[in-house]
C-alpha cells in the first residue's frame, strides 16, 4: 500500500521534471533568436538607414545602461545620441561630448572644485572611450582619442571616491598598466587589514578606465579592485597581441599582490566579461591559488558558430589578436574553455544573458554545465550581452557572492 501511494507522487514529480526540461529547451531555442537577429539586423547598411531616419536616440533604455552605469548624465547621453545619424557620426559625436566635458572640468579646476572637476574629467575619458567603439567610423585618429582618454582619466583618478591609484604589473612580456581601488573603512579611510582583491578582465571594446568605474558594488562589500589593460586591450592594443599561453598574466598579478601592502594575495578573485569571461576560466585553471572566479557571458567553445558572429565583433577580436579579420575564424579555438574547464577548482559564478545578441546565450550555460568545481549560475532572461541591460543587478549580486567566498 505504501508503494501504491508513492507511485502517483513519483509520476507527478517526473511530469514536473519533464515540464522543466521542456521549458529549458524552449528558452534555449528562443534565446538563440537574439543572437541570429543581432547579426541579421546589425548589418552596416541597415544601421546607417535606421540612424538617418531616427538617429541613435532610438536606442532603448536597456542599450543606454552602459553609458549611465559608468556615470554619464542621461541628458548628455541623449544629446550625443541625437547627433549621430550614421556610423561615421559615432566617433565625432562622442569626441564633441568629450571636449565639452573637458571644458567643464577646466572651469571646475579654475574655480577650486576638484571633486566636480574629477566628475567631468571622468566623463571626458568615458566619452573618448565610447568614440573609439565604432568599427569603421571616421573622426579623430585612434591614437589621438587614446591619448586624450588616458590624459583625462589620469586627472580624474586621484579625486574619485575612493581614488583610483595608477599601478604597473611587472609581467615579463610587457608591463601591464592598471588602476587599483581600495575599499574605504567606516570613516572613509582605507581599511586597516589586508583586503581581498577582485581582478577585472576587459571584454572586447572595454578598457581599464571604464572597468574601474564598475568597482563601487565590490568596494562597498570590502573588496579591492584591480582593472588592467591586458594583451590587445587599451594601452597594449597594437603593441602586445592576445595569444595562447598568456595565463602567466595572473601569476604576475598574484606575485604583485603578495608584495603590496593592504592586499591579501591568498584571497584573489578573477572577474571577466565577454572574451574576458573565457580568459578567467583559462587563468583560474592554470593558477590554482585563485580563490574564486566570475565569468560573464563568455564564449565557451566558439568554433561551431564563429562564422556567424557579427563582423564588427570579429573585427574587434582580430584587433585584440593583432591579425587580419579574415584570419579571426581560424583563431577561434584559442578562446575555447574546453581544454581548461576540468582544471578549474575554485568556486565559480557564471552569468548568462538570455537576450545576448553578440554570442549565443547558451554558451554560458554550457560552461556552467561543464564545470566540476563548486559553481553558481546567475541567469538573466531579459539581459543583453555582458548583462549590460542589467549591469547594476549582476555586479551587486557578484559582489555579494564574492564577499561570502573571500
Domain boundaries, the chain: 44-131, 161-405
111 burial level (CB within 10 Å; 0-12, 13-18, 19+): exposed
pTM value is 0.88
Burial of 288 (C-beta count, 10 Å sphere; 0-12/13-18/19+): exposed
290 forms beta bridges with none
Cell of 376: 553558481
What is the predicted pLDDT for the residue at 47? 78
pLDDT, residue 186, reads: 64
Contacts of 113 (CB under 8 A, 6+ apart): none
Determine which helix (DSSP H) or strand (DSSP E) holds 353, and give its type and residue range.
strand 348-353
Could you please state the CATH topology (level 3) that the domain comprising 161-405 is classified under.
Rossmann fold (3.40.50)
Q: How far apart are the first and last CA of the chain?
A: 51
Range of weakest confidence among 22-26, 59-63, 82-86, 94-98: 22-26
Residue 388 predicted with pLDDT over 70: yes
The yes-or-no verdict on residue 42 having pLDDT over 60 is yes
pLDDT band for position 331 (cuts 50, 70, 90): confident
Angle of CA points 338, 237, 254, to nearest 5°: 60
Quote the CA–CA distance of 222 and 216 in Å, as a whole number: 10
**Burial letters for 265-283: b for 16+ Cβ neighbours within 10 Å, e otherwise?**
bebbbbbbbbbbbbbbbbb
Q: Give the three-class secondary structure for 230.
A: coil
Q: Residue 2: what pLDDT?
A: 44
Rounded mean pLDDT, 228-257? 95
pLDDT of residue 346: 98
Enter the C-alpha cell of residue 385.
550581452
Of 63-72, 83-92, 175-184, 315-324, highest mean pLDDT: 175-184
Amino acid at each position: 500500500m505504501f508503494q501504491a501511494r508513492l507511485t502517483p507522487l513519483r509520476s507527478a514529480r517526473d511530469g514536473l521534471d519533464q515540464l522543466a526540461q521542456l521549458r529549458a529547451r524552449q528558452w534555449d531555442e528562443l534565446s538563440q533568436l537574439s543572437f541570429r537577429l543581432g547579426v541579421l539586423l546589425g548589418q552596416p547598411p541597415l544601421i546607417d538607414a535606421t540612424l538617418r531616419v531616427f538617429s541613435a536616440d532610438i536606442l532603448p533604455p536597456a542599450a543606454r545602461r552602459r553609458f549611465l552605469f559608468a556615470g554619464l548624465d542621461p541628458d548628455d547621453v541623449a544629446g550625443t545620441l541625437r547627433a549621430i545619424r550614421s556610423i561615421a557620426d559615432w566617433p565625432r559625436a562622442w569626441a564633441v561630448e568629450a571636449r565639452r566635458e573637458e571644458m567643464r572640468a577646466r572651469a571646475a579646476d579654475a574655480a577650486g572644485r576638484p571633486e566636480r572637476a574629477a566628475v567631468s574629467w571622468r566623463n571626458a575619458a568615458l566619452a573618448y572611450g565610447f568614440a573609439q567603439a565604432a568599427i569603421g567610423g571616421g573622426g579623430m585618429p585612434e591614437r589621438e582619442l587614446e591619448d586624450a582618454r588616458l590624459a583625462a582619466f589620469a586627472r580624474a583618478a586621484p579625486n574619485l571616491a575612493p581614488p583610483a591609484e595608477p599601478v604597473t604589473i611587472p609581467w615579463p612580456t610587457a608591463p601591464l598598466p592598471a588602476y587599483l581601488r581600495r575599499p574605504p573603512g567606516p570613516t572613509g579611510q582605507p581599511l586597516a587589514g589586508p583586503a581581498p582583491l577582485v581582478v577585472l578582465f576587459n571584454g572586447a571594446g572595454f578598457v581599464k578606465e571604464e572597468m574601474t568605474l564598475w568597482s563601487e558594488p565590490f568596494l562597498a562589500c570590502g573588496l579591492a579592485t584591480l582593472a588592467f589593460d591586458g594583451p590587445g586591450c587599451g594601452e597594449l592594443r597594437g603593441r602586445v597581441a592576445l595569444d595562447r599561453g598568456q595565463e602567466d598574466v595572473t601569476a604576475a598579478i598574484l606575485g604583485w599582490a603578495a608584495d603590496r601592502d593592504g592586499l591579501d594575495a591568498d584571497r584573489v578573485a578573477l572577474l571577466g566579461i565577454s572574451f574576458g569571461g573565457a580568459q578567467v576560466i583559462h587563468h583560474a585553471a592554470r593558477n590554482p591559488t585563485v580563490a574564486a572566479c566570475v565569468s560573464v557571458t563568455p564564449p565557451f567553445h566558439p568554433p561551431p558558430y564563429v562564422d556567424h558572429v557579427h563582423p564588427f565583433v570579429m573585427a574587434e577580436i582580430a584587433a585584440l589578436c593583432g591579425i587580419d579579420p579574415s584570419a579571426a575564424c581560424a583563431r577561434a579555438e584559442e578562446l575555447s574553455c574546453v581544454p581548461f574547464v576540468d582544471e578549474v577548482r575554485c568556486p565559480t559564478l557564471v552569468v548568462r544573458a538570455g537576450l545576448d545578441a553578440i554570442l549565443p546565450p547558451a554558451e554560458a550555460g554550457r560552461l556552467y554545465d561543464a564545470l566540476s568545481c563548486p559553481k553558481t549560475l546567475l541567469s538573466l532572461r531579459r539581459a543583453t550581452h555582458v548583462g549590460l541591460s542589467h549591469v547594476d543587478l549582476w555586479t551587486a549580486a557578484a559582489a555579494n557572492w564574492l564577499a561570502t567566498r573571500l
